[in-house]
Amino acid sequence: MIPVTEFRQFSEQQPQFRVLKPWWDVFTDYLSVVMLMIGVFGCTLQVMQDKIICLPQRMSMPNQTILLPNKTELVSPAVPQEMHEMMGLKTNLDLQQYSFINQMCYEKALHWYAKYFPYLVLIHTLIFMVCSNFWFKFPGSSSKIEHFISILGKCFDSPWTTRALSEVSGENPEEKDKKCSASRAILNVSVEGNLDDLEKTQSLKSIPEKIVVDKPTASALEKKEGEQAKALFEKVKKFRLHVEEGDILYIMYVRQTVLKVMKFLLIIAYNSALVSEVQITVKCNVDMQDMTGYKHFSCNHTMAHLFSKLSYCYLCFVAVYGFTCLYTSYWLFYRSLKEYSFEYVRQETGIDDIPDVKNDFAFMLHMIDQYDPLYSKRFAVFLSEVSENKLKQLNLNHEWTPEKLRQRLMTNHNNRLELQLFMLSGLPDTIYEVTELQSLKLEIINNVTIPASIAQLEDLQELSLYQCYLKIHATATSFLKENLKVLRVKFDDSRELPHWLYHLRNLEELYLIGSLSPDASKNVVLESLRELKNLKTLSLKSNFTKIPQSIVDVSSHLQRLYVYNDGTKLVMLNNLKKMVNLTELELVHCDLERIPHAVFSLTNLQELDLKENNLHSIEEIVSCQHLRKLTCLKLWHNSICYIPEHIKKLGSLERLYFSHNKIEILPSHLFLCNKLRYLDLSNNDIRFIPPEIGVLQSLQYFSVTCNKIENLPDELFFCKKLTTLKLGKNTLSLLSPKISYLVLLTHLELKGNHFELLPPELGFCRALKRGGLMVEDALFETLPSEIRDKMKTE
């Protein structure tokens, strides 16, 4: 026996699936129940009552002698009196013989339709019921249906749905509640009335009384609902991507409907032809004379009359069922059910960005509409990006309170109070309450919208946008034009490069990082900068092959130009000649093989940086003598093999960078640049330091780390202004006691050499402490204990 509890899962799932059952499916389900009752009733009659009752039928012939059962004498038919006796009702059959005759005639003489009619009804009805619900049980479709119904119920009951529909319909819950509160105050409404109003608007969480009395509880509740709605948006997105890929639900429903129509036609066809075979009187001609003495029998089908009526009734129900299925087929094939448009929802709610859907997603929504169109309307809220953005904004405002934002304020290198936000879903409105903010840095934040309320940040002067797609209000643009001093933009495509930057007339510093091209046929082009009248610093990190013409627009007032290429060869530099007011120029990683001649026209240039290029020879350095204001020259990270004699003509140099090259010999004329304060020769192949280094009496920083130096000239220690001396990773074995001359020394690096001990004269370097002495611990222990203790004291 099968326990009833085995069918509990079907009864439990059915209420969940009712939303996907249109009226015709519900109607046919009831018809199936009625037909099932007909089948069960017929089967019960078959089992409980006699199926057929038969009596022998005497077939007399002239001059035939009939042997009666249990009689030994012969009776001649010619005798009228005896014949009359034989024509009586006695058959002399016992009960077992009658039962045998009934069974044989039921099996042999009764038509199969009359025998199996109730079973056929039962089987056909069960097939109908299976076909109607098969798509709810099939693994490939049931999982999608269960997931859809689960999401649908949550979307329908979500407070965010009510809030979103109220906002777009023009109802402002907060204003409505404030009006109600004012009316209650004027009219002095009873407390019960207030409580009723609270219950009606509680889901909106914007009741003024509640905010005043218990603000933290309301905020926490809103945050919880916001997080739930945010999770629903993600579920709907993933479900839509998954379901729109196929149409298995539509195919399953079409197939089961077609199967029911074919079943209906089959039942109507053979039942109409065979219903007449259900007769009350049945002739039975079965040869049982050896056992009963009779060959012909007349039988009565006891349930023929009832089965005949049930069959006609069953045909009527099947006909209604079939016509309903035909209507379903018409609905399936003559309507575009694999596409669903939310046009009526867009018109009714005003949410214009609700997308149309297709395939199984569309089909399920069509089915939902047959149940209640309100489900689709509320579900559509979670397909709208506008609605999602509003929710994200609400969640952001709850998460990023003004107090939390103030805690993240830091002072940047420009000595401005800076707020950095990274990978948020949007820009919280609470930022505009932090009025002391001076610098705002946004990284990897999509769909950033800057409203007019940015004007509240009166001290804002610096804005950094790193891979942010930005939309800005017209009023906010006017504010930035007047107040913004520094703008940094890192972009991957043209959408992330704001077009309003070309109109910031008070902008002083502009930093652009991304793929820019001077060719108008490319995607991202640097447009004219002529409106940037106050621009003094321009930094471009891109892949130029020539200096963009748009830079010439600011040549009259541009003072600092930084070009960082990605290794692309910078060929055309003629536009540099027009930058007559440049004081700083950096051409980094531009694959330059020589110092560009255009540089020598920049008579106001003070700092030149040619880092990470492909320089082998710098003979052109003689032309730098025309740059009389040049104080800093950076030729580091190149392939320079030697320093030319002409470098002595750069008498104004104060800082010189030659690190990370291939220099082997230091020429003595290098030290004729007697104004040098900073000299970096690290990471080369230098073996010897000329004694002429003693000429550099202004030298404060000297580094020869990572070379092959074996000895130090005593003249080095005559540079008494040295504060930093880096001698690490060489082959030095002795440190001169004249190190004591460097009384201003604060940083001394000796690691990676062959020293066996340190001179005690290090104790005269009063400014040198243990933290500034970079040496192995064992070597440090060779100093006298009093010197060690003195260095360890801060």
Give phi and psi for 736, each to the nearest 5: -60, 140
Higher pLDDT, 347 or 464: 464
Higher pLDDT, 604 or 186: 604
Give phi and psi for 283, each to the nearest 5: -85, 125
Task: Give the tens place of pLDDT for each residue, 49-82.
Answer: 667 788 777 665 444 444 444 444 444 444 444 4
Task: Please state the rounded mean pLDDT for residues 433-446.
Answer: 91
How crowded is the C-beta side of 327, counted as CA atoms within 13 Å? 12
Task: Please state the rounded mean pLDDT for residues 614-633.
Answer: 90
116 Rama class: left (phi>0) / alpha (psi -120 to 50) / beta: alpha
pLDDT of residue 744: 94
Mention every residue, 6+ apart, whose C-beta is less than 8 A from residue 405.
419, 428, 430, 431, 434
* pLDDT for residue 219 is more than 80: no
Give residue 771's pLDDT band: very low, low, confident or very high (50, 70, 90): very high
Task: Please state the rounded mean pLDDT for residues 713-740.
Answer: 94
And the tokens for 81?
């009196």
Higher pLDDT, 423 or 114: 423
As a whole number, the mean pLDDT across the chain is 81
Question: 736 in helix, strand or coil?
Answer: coil
Question: 770 in helix, strand or coil?
Answer: helix
218-224 contacts at long range (C-beta below 8 A, 24 or more positions apart): 219/398, 222/394, 222/398, 223/395, 223/398, 223/399
Task: Please state the rounded mean pLDDT for residues 471-477.
Answer: 89
And the tokens for 513?
């990082």
What whole-number distance in Å separates Cα of residue 673 and Cα of residue 429?
57
β-bridge mates for residue 773, sequence order: 748
DSSP character for 626?
G
What whole-number distance in Å separates Cα of residue 226 and Cα of residue 235?
14
Task: Please state the rounded mean pLDDT for residues 711-723.
Answer: 94
Task: Give the tens place of pLDDT for each residue, 83-108.
Answer: 444 454 566 677 777 788 778 887 77
CB 471, CB 451: distance < 8 Å: no
What whole-number distance in Å separates Cα of residue 381 and Cα of residue 643?
71
Beta strands in 332-416 (DSSP E): 339-340, 357-358, 410-411
Higher pLDDT, 193 or 526: 526
Task: Please state the rounded mean pLDDT for residues 566-583.
Answer: 88
CB 228, CB 234: distance < 8 Å: no
Give phi and psi for 478, each to the nearest 5: -65, -40
* pLDDT for residue 606 is more than 90: yes
* pLDDT for residue 189 is more than 60: no
Task: Please state the rounded mean pLDDT for residues 195-218.
Answer: 36
DSSP assignments along 665-719, one per residue = ---GGGGG-TT-SEEE--SS------GGGGG-TT--EEE--SS------GGGGG-
CB 676, CB 693: distance < 8 Å: no
* pLDDT for residue 191 is more than 80: no
Q: Strands 296-301, 281-285: parallel, antiparallel or unpaired by DSSP?
A: antiparallel
And the tokens for 568?
């692309």
pLDDT of residue 44: 83
Give phi and psi for 61, each to the nearest 5: -130, 150
Task: Please state the rounded mean pLDDT for residues 602-622.
Answer: 92
For the chain, give the longest Cα–Cα distance: 170
Task: Give the tens place of pLDDT for each residue, 360-419.
Answer: 888 888 888 888 888 888 888 878 777 777 777 777 888 889 999 999 999 999 899 999
Task: Please state the rounded mean pLDDT for residues 101-127.
Answer: 82
Closest CA to 32 of 173, 132, 111: 132
How crowded is the C-beta side of 265, counted as CA atoms within 13 Å? 6
Give residue 320's pLDDT band: very low, low, confident or very high (50, 70, 90): very high
And the tokens for 607?
């700092």
Q: In terms of C-beta density within 10 A (0-12 exposed, 13-18 middle, 19 or more buried), how is residue 390 classed?
A: middle
Mention every residue, 6+ apart, whose C-beta is less than 8 A from residue 249.
135, 141, 144, 145, 360, 363, 364
Task: Please state the rounded mean pLDDT for residues 667-685.
Answer: 94
788-791 contacts at long range (C-beta below 8 A, 24 or more positions apart): 790/763
Q: In terms of C-beta density within 10 A (0-12 exposed, 13-18 middle, 19 or more buried), how is residue 793 classed?
A: exposed
Q: In terms of C-beta density within 10 A (0-12 exposed, 13-18 middle, 19 or more buried), how is residue 721 classed?
A: middle
β-bridge mates for residue 440, sequence order: 419, 463
By residue count, the chain amounts to: 794
243 Rama class: left (phi>0) / alpha (psi -120 to 50) / beta: alpha
* pLDDT for residue 170 is more than 70: no
Task: Give the tens place of pLDDT for each residue, 506-524.
Answer: 999 999 998 876 554 455 6
Question: 442 in helix, strand or coil?
Answer: strand
Which range is least confidently modeled, 112-121, 385-394, 552-561? 385-394
Give residue 223's pLDDT band: very low, low, confident or very high (50, 70, 90): low
Task: Please state the rounded mean pLDDT for residues 534-542.
Answer: 93
pLDDT of residue 175: 43
CB 761, CB 776: distance < 8 Å: no
pLDDT of residue 119: 86
pLDDT of residue 519: 52
Higher pLDDT, 55 or 257: 257
pLDDT of residue 90: 61
In the chain, count H helices and then E strands: 22, 24
Task: Please state the rounded mean pLDDT for residues 597-609.
Answer: 92
